[in-house]
Amino acid sequence: MLKSREDAYGHQIHDYLREQPHVYEIVEREDGYIDISSGASYYFAPYRQWPIYQKRAMAYVKGHVLDIGCGAGRVSLFLQEKGFTVMGIDNSPLAVKACQKRGIKDVKNIAIEKISQRLGIFDTIIMYGNNFGLFASMKKARSLLKKMHKMTSGEATIIAETADPYQTKVPEHLEYHKLNKKRGRMAGQLRLRVRYKKYKTPFFDYLLVSVDELKRILKGTGWYLLKKYDSGAAPYVAVIKKDPLLK
Task: Encode pLDDT of 48-89 as tens digits.
Answer: 999 999 999 999 999 999 999 999 999 999 999 999 999 999
pLDDT computed for residue 2 by the predictor? 92
Instruction: Tell me the average pLDDT across 12-17.
Output: 95
Q: Cβ(144)–Cβ(131) under 8 Å?
A: no
DSSP annotation of 102: T
DSSP annotation of 201: P
Q: What is the pLDDT of residues 119-170, one digit of tens each?
A: 999 999 999 999 999 999 999 999 999 999 999 999 999 999 999 999 999 9
The upper half-sphere exposure of residue 87, i.e. CA atoms within 13 Å in the direction of its Cβ, equals: 17
Q: What percent of the chain has pLDDT over 90?
A: 94
pLDDT averaged over every residue in the chain: 96
Q: pLDDT band for position 246 (50/70/90)?
A: low
| Fold of domain 4-242 | Rossmann fold (3.40.50)
Rounded-to-integer distance, Cα 149 and Cα 240, Å: 11
Closest CA relative to residue 21, chosen from 42, 47, 51, 49: 42
Q: pLDDT band for position 20 (50/70/90)?
A: confident
Q: What is the pTM of this model?
A: 0.96
Q: Which residues contact 44 (CB under 8 A, 6 or more apart)?
A: 16, 72, 74
Residue 247 has pLDDT above 60, yes or no: no
